[in-house]
A and B are shown apart, each in its own frame.
Chain A
Amino acid sequence: MSDDSFKNTGFSDPELRAAVAVAMAGVAPTAMTLDIEAPKHWPLAREMGWLTAYLPEAQGGLGLGLAFIADLGEQVGRHLFSGPLLETALFLPVLSETLPKADALAPLLEQIAQGQLRLGFSEDFGQPETGFVTEHLGSATHMLQLLSGSRESALRVYAVDQAQVAMVQPMDPTASVGRLRPAAPLFEVRLPNAQLAPLHLALHIATAADLLGAGEEALVRALEHVKTRRQFGQPIGGFQVVKHRLADVRSALDVARLALARAVQAPQLQAVDSGRMARVLAAEAALAATAAAVQLHGGLGFSWEMDLHLWLKRVRRLNARSGGTAALRHATGERIIRAALEVSGI
């Protein structure tokens, strides 16, 4: 790594970031050893305080903000971290503001914050008749659902033990998926969309960061391979067709990183648009990176024990979330076109 293009500079405090990276590297799975419940991951998240990282200090959290969430997300993607870590961290502030403090639900917040209860997560996609496709359902006690309407959105909490649950084979072997047909929610709150904008932005940023981390790691592995694998008397990384494909992956990741950094710092007014664009660009980069890593490993890349498929599948899962990147891309395009026509008064 000889030049300045590696802008892997992260988003928040370097020491915090390094601590996250070291801790996660210590429990990173491989394809041959992985256990979908990742028994070491959740205790680590609790011990490190990551679950309450985004919760403001006034509400008992660490108040570390979106820059730290971006760093945490990147390491989550790089090291194939399992479990609803980012979702829990991001939903805690809104749950803390809206969950009733006095009735039977009162202990819920504390238990989620401490990691005693685990959340499954679904946005408003999937067919209700076949059940909501829910990530991390395997060990979830509660399911969180965010239903977006045109003016307001509903946030619901269901008890998994009161719902019909059918676990399914997940695309990503590091994240359980199930179909859930819920009974009545334990809790529901309707909020104007403007009030949920910070949550949407945070979800975009966390997902983009997870994608970016997965893409960066796929590129690292592809580079290691093409520098050492020799064919026709030379490392295959010396062939221009290989170099150019990886140069394009590098550029796409650089762009995604800049877009993510912008979303983290963006003023509130444009923040959700900025986050959405970062997520689309990160998905594009991560899809390209993981596909290149598999391809450039040749037959090895297609083998289960090579691990590369874990990032490919993770990226596919994250790309599908929230109705898929295609829907986010569409929303971005509509905004760009509307803005251009408004400027010219058409």
Chain B
Amino acid sequence: MSAATRLEAGARGPAFLRADSDAGFRAGLKSWLATELPALAGARGPAEANSIAFRLAWESHCCRVGLSGLGWPLEEGGHALSLARQAIYHEECARAGTPLPVNMIGHGIVAPTLLAFGDAAQKARFLPRILDNSEVWCQGYSEPGAGSDLAALRLSARRDGEEYVLNGQKIWTSFADLSQWCLLLARTDASATRHAGISVLLVDMSLQGVTCRPIRQITGEADFNEVFFDNVRVPASARLGPENGGWRLAMAAANFERSTYFVPRVVRMQAELEALIRLAAERRQADGCAMLEVPGIRAAITDLGLKTHAMRLMAEDILTEAERGQTSGVSSSTLKLLWSENHQRLFDVAMEVLGPEAALGPQEVSGAAQGRWARDYLWTRAETILAGTSEVHRNIIAERGLGLPK
């Protein structure tokens, strides 16, 4: 790599990325967010500001100005920011109230998996379009008969010359309907035992024979999809890693998911807890007592504060491990459990704090924060199910961490 490329890569994005100190980085980021977010959000209220359309618009805006690939190496077009700065980035975004991204699979899972396992052509083809967010990714893992038991997956990829022919179905695929690409787990050897016959394919969602059907969720929204593959022909070059060697990649990707993907959410929880405390300070019972003064609410908030502290320490620990190149199998399960269950609890408490207003539905804009509390209360039901259910993660900790029998 030439010095010119290095300079160009380093020069991408707003100047605060190259601040001399962490404090300078934070101050620059804060002022950037204070200008850019209101400018793009305009008059949108909480409901519209958290819509998929605005989430994607904000995410693409950030990526286009160069705020992506924060932790990637410089030679791949990233910023190689220190962990401390990445944490500051997520912290300040959460404080500023930026909407969640949409292309989480692309940035959080596909990119680190490509960086670790992709060949030069695959990296050159896909990484720049993740960096500028021009291609959104989904992840084709679960099937109707393979949920927690992922290795039971059946979607077949039959080799036919220089192509694979895909037949089968995926389900619970987030944002498949607005994705250009899918990181897909397929069975390339029907005769091999469960884990052995699986490969990872990078599939163009616009190919003939791919059909998405959105699934309406308990929130009333439809982020998840069923995806059908009917004689879909993909080139053999779309395979990531060795044929029938996909399970190891999938497990590594799952670790990226639970570390790089959940860490921003863990950081976000501090800001969400602060919002809950403000909500509880503002809302009153019929007798005039602020909800924050109700002993049960105060005790629940205290517990959430302790758990948020604990989770933050665990996230830092996992990132430190990741930086040293160590995989974090069991501790990433612990973090996923801690985060998803306490995040769910936070919104349980919020529903209590809302009192009679908790009877309002998630799209009712006259509700608190235009229904966002109700919507997120319902959404957090998914968080203990997706990316490995709480039950699966407890099994991982017990079997791999404690050596208990399967």
Shortest CB distance B84–A (Å): 14
In chain A between 2 and 42, which residues have their CB closer than 8 angstroms to a CB of chain B?
2-7
Q: For this complex, into which size category does the number of interface residues on chain B fall?
A: 35 or more
A337 contact from B298, B310, B391, Cβ within 8 A: B298
The smallest C-beta distance from A264 to any residue of chain B, in angstroms, reads 12
B119 on the A face (CB < 8 A): no
Residue in contact with A243 in the complex, picked from B282, B313, B328, B398, CB distance below 8 Å: B398
Select one of A235, A247, A258 contacting B401, CB under 8 A.
Answer: A247
Instruction: Give the chain A neighbours of B292 by CB distance below 8 A.
Output: 337
Residues of A within 8 A of B278 (CB): 340-341, 344, 346
**B221 adjacent to chain A (CB < 8 Å):** no
Per the bound structure, the CA–CA distance linking A344 and B292 in Å amounts to 15
Of B299, B334, B338, B398, chain A has the most CB atoms within 10 Å of the CB of B398
Within 8 A of A (CB), among B320-370: 321, 326-331, 334, 337-338
| Alpha-carbon distance between A227 and B406 when the two chains are bound, in angstroms | 11
B196 at the interface (CB under 8 A from A): no
Chain B residues positioned under 8 Å from A329 (CB to CB): 299, 302-303, 306
Given A259-B313, A341-B278, A346-B281, A333-B400 contact (CB < 8 Å): no
Distance of A237 Cα from B406 Cα, bound (Å): 9
Which single member of B301, B306, B327 contacts A280 (CB below 8 Å)? Answer: B306
- B149 in the interface (beta carbon within 8 A): no
Please tell me if the beta carbons of A254 and B391 are within 8 angstroms of each other in the complex: no
Report the number of A-B residue pairs with Cβ-Cβ less than 8 Å.
134
From 235 to 292 in chain B, residues with beta carbon under 8 angstroms from any chain A beta carbon are 273-274, 277-278, 281-282, 292
Tell me which residues across on chain A come within 8 A of B314, comparing CB atoms: 254-255, 258
Q: Are A238 and B405 in contact (CB under 8 A)?
A: yes
Check if B399 is an interface residue, CB within 8 A of chain A: yes
What CA separation (Å) do A250 and B393 show in the bound complex? 12
A246 CB, min distance to chain B CBs, angstroms: 6
User: What band does the interface of chain A fall in when counting residues whose beta carbon is under 8 Å from B?
Assistant: 35 or more
B334 CB to closest chain A CB (Å) equals 5
Residue in chain A with minimal CB distance to B298 = A333
Closest chain A residue to B330, Cβ basis: A5
Residues of B within 8 A of A5 (CB): 329-331, 334, 397, 400-402
| Cβ–Cβ contact A251 & B397, under 8 A | yes
Contact A333 B301 (CB under 8 A): yes
Q: Does A343 lie within 8 Å of B310, measured CB to CB?
A: no
A277, B313: Cα distance in complex, Å? 12
- Known pairs A2-B403, A4-B327, A223-B402; list 20 more (Cβ under 8 Å): A223-B403, A223-B404, A227-B405, A235-B405, A242-B404, A244-B394, A246-B402, A247-B395, A247-B397, A248-B394, A255-B310, A258-B317, A259-B309, A259-B310, A259-B313, A277-B306, A332-B305, A333-B302, A336-B302, A337-B292
Complex A-B: 21 CB contacts under 8 Å:
A3-B330, A4-B328, A6-B401, A234-B405, A235-B405, A243-B398, A243-B399, A243-B402, A243-B404, A246-B404, A247-B397, A247-B401, A250-B334, A254-B314, A258-B310, A258-B314, A261-B313, A280-B306, A329-B306, A337-B301, A346-B278
